[in-house]
Amino acid sequence: MQNKNVNPSSSSSSKSPYSLLDPNPSLIDENGNLINDINLAASLTTYRNGTITDGVSKLILLIDSNDPLQFSINHTKPDDLSNGMLSSLSQSNVNNLSSTNDVNPHNVSHGKSVVAAVYTPPGSFNQDKTADHRTINVNVNVSNANDADTRTLHKVPIQLYRPPVVLIHGVWTNSDETWNKSTFKERLEKNGYKVFLADYAAHNAKTFHPYAIPEIGNHGIDSLRKEIAKASNSCHNQSIAAAQVDVIAHSMGGLMARGFVQQPNYKRKENFMKGSIHRLITIGTPHFGGHLSEFVYHHLDDWYCIEGIHITPAQNCKVEPKKLRTLYVNEGVVEALIPGSDAYSHLYQTNVKSYAIAGSWKPNANDSHESQEWNYQFITDNLGFNLDRDGFHDDNDLVVSITSQLGGLPYQIRQPGSNDPPNEEDIPNKSAIYPNTVHASFLIKRDKDISSETYSPRIQEDIIILLNSSDNKFANAIGDGSPRHPSNIE
C-alpha cells in the first residue's frame, strides 16, 4: 500500500522528473472546478499512481521544465477519448476535449519553472477483462522541438481502475441474503470489482422517506453514505484518486440511493460537486410504489397465521394467530410504500446515470403466482381477488409492478441473446424486463427454471457488462414522473 505522501514514481536513488498528484480537495473551488493556481498546484503533496474511471477524478501531472511540453496519450488519436483527456490547468474547466494538449511552463517559488497538465479519466473502464485495472501511458515531448529532436522526454504510466461498487439491499432482508448467498458479490469480485455492502437491516422496516431523520435522511441512506466513504477511502489508501462509486440497489435499496442524491451534502468539493454516484442500477425497485402495500396496510390489525407457504385467516389457523403487522414487522415502511404516500411525495426525480432492471413472473412462474395470489385473497377476504388485475393493474414480479420497477424508463424486454456469454449489444438500453424472474427467492414455489432478481445468473452477467459499458447504455435520470425537486439540487 502506498503512502499518500510518497511519490510512487520516485526511487531512493533519484528524484522523479514528474509527479502525479491528486488535486482533491485543495485545488477544487466551490463550483467543483479546478483552481487555476500553478503555485497551489505545485504545492500538492498527495501522490497517486492512478485514478478510477468515473470521468470525474482528475490528476495533475507536474513536470519541471522551462520549455512548453506536449502531452499525448500513447497510441490514441487526439479525438479519441476512450483513454481519457488532457488539458492545461487554465483550460481544465473548458469544454476543449482532446487526448493531446500543449502546455506552457510557469514560474513558481524558488525560481523553478514547471508545466502542469490535467488528466481527466474516461467515464467507463472500456475493457472486458477481469483485471481490476489497466495502464495507459502519457507521452511528454518538447512542443517546439525540431523534427529531428522529437523523442519522448517522459512516458508517464497512469493506472486506470474500475470504480468501486456499493451494493444496497431491500426491505425485510440484509446484505448477506441479498448479495452473498446469491453469489452476486463474489461474481463481481471475480470480474475485477472492489465491492462494498451497505446494510441497514436493523432498521429496514422503517420508512424510506428521504428526510425522516435530520442530518442523515434515514438509516438506509446513512448506511449508503458511510459505505461510499469507506469505498473512496479504500482507493485513496492504495494511491488511487476516487470521487465516485457505482451503486447497485435491490428493491427499496433503490429508493435509499435516490434519497441519498437529494441530501444537502450529496454534492461536495470531494466529488467535484458532481455527487458521489457515478452510475445507479436498480433491480426490482418500487420507484412509484409497491401496490400490494396498500392491501397489507388496511389489514395490519387483522389476525392471521402462516401455515406452510400461505397466510391463513385466524379462524382457520392450527397454530397461534398473530396480527398481520407482527408478521410483517411493521414500523412504518408498509404505509411508506403505498403509491402517493408522503414518503413518495418527497422522493424527487433522480438526475444520475441510471439503469432499471425489472422482473416479470410471466410466462412460467404460474405456481409462484398462484401462491402469492392466494395470500392476498385471504388478506383481502376476497376469493375473487386477481393479483395482476386488482393488485397491480400491470405485469409484475409478484411484489412490484413493471411500471413501478422501470421508474419512467422505456419498456424493453431482455430477449435471450445469440451470444453466450452475452455482449453489450444483447442488452437493451436504459432498462430491461427479465421474464421468469420474481422479486425474491422465497416467492418461488414449485416452478422450474425460475430465478429471483438478485440470484438470476443472467441479471448478474448483464450487470457486469453494464458496469463496463459506455454511458450510452444508461438513462440520464430515473424517476421521471416523480415530483421535481423545488431547488433542483439533485
Q: State the pLDDT at residue 174.
A: 96
The pLDDT, as a whole number, for residue 456 is: 97
pTM, two decimal places: 0.93
Over range 296-319, report the average pLDDT.
Answer: 76
CA–CA separation, 313 vs 66, rounded Å? 85
Rounded Cα gap, residues 277 and 316, in angstroms = 50
Question: What does the alpha-carbon distance between residue 461 and residue 188 come to, in Å, rounded to a whole number?
Answer: 9
Candidate CATH numbers 3.40.50, 1.25.40, 3.10.50, 3.90.79; the one for domain 165-473: 3.40.50
Residue 20 pairs in a beta bridge with 61
- Go through 326-347 and write b for each residue having 16 or more CB atoms within 10 A of its CB, e for each that does not: eebebeebbbbbbeebebbebb
Ranges of each domain in the chain:
18-161, 165-473
Predicted pLDDT at 14: 47
pLDDT at 151 over 70: no
Identity at 46, one-letter amino acid code? T
The arithmetic mean of pLDDT across residues 217-223, rounded, is: 97
> CA nearest 252: which of 387, 396, 399, 441?
399
Q: CA-CA distance, 264 to 208, in Å (whole number)?
A: 17
Whole-number pLDDT of residue 11: 39
Q: What is the pLDDT of residue 418?
A: 67
Give the tens place of pLDDT for each residue, 86-129: 999 988 877 778 999 999 999 998 778 999 999 999 999 988 78
- The Cα–Cα gap between 335 and 327 comes to 15
Confidence of residue 9 (pLDDT cuts 50, 70, 90): low
**Per-residue model confidence (pLDDT) at position 398:** 98
Interval 238-243 mean pLDDT: 98
- Listed in sequence order, the residues at least 6 apart from 77 whose beta carbon sits closer than 8 Å to its beta carbon are 99
Give the mean pLDDT of 261-276.
97
The kind and range of the H/E element at 403 are helix 402-406
CATH architecture classification, 18-161 = Sandwich (2.60)
> pLDDT averaged over the chain?
91
Judge if 18-161 and 165-473 fold alike in CATH terms: no
| Lookup result for grid cell 493531446 | 100
Q: Retrieve residue 64's grid coordinates.
A: 519541471
CB atoms within 10 A of CB 14: 7
Question: What per-residue confidence (pLDDT) applies to 145?
Answer: 56
